[in-house]
Amino acid sequence: MAYVVTRATPIGELVLNVPSAAAVLLEHGFHCIGCGLAAYETIEEGAAAHGFDDAAIDALVQEIKDAAKKEEELMKRADAAIASPAAKPVAKESKKAEKKTKKSKSG
């Protein structure tokens, strides 16, 4: 995983780098993801403010890491599908259609 998630990760930075983390945080009662404090508050600080103990904070961090890993795997599969030879003819046909449309509009 390219982005490292720890207890000390700022929540604002986290949701920018791991969008799926927002859903995890919301499920755990972090409804203040978009507030100004969340931009600087760490996962640990936010969780403690919501009454989480050390074990619950560790479990939350692990759940976020799991979500990040799934997100990364989906992105890799999407990138692979786009780069696959089967996708190239579709892209080529799309470009042909685009050129044809431009010609018909100009002429």
- The confidence score (pLDDT) of residue 89 equals 63
Report in angstroms the alpha-carbon separations of 43 from 2, 19, 81, 86: 18, 15, 34, 42
What integer best gives the mean pLDDT of the chain?
A: 85
- The confidence score (pLDDT) of residue 37 equals 78
Residue 43 exposed, middle or buried by CB count within 10 Å (0-12, 13-18, 19+):
buried
- The confidence score (pLDDT) of residue 70 equals 94
The two tokens of residue 95 are: 């470009």
Indicate if the pLDDT at residue 55 is higher than 90. Answer: yes
8-22: pLDDT as tens digits: 999 999 999 999 999
C-alpha to C-alpha distance for 32 and 38, rounded to whole angstroms: 7
Q: Above pLDDT 90, what percent of the chain?
A: 55
Indicate if the pLDDT at residue 85 is higher than 80. Answer: no
Which pTM does this prediction carry?
0.71
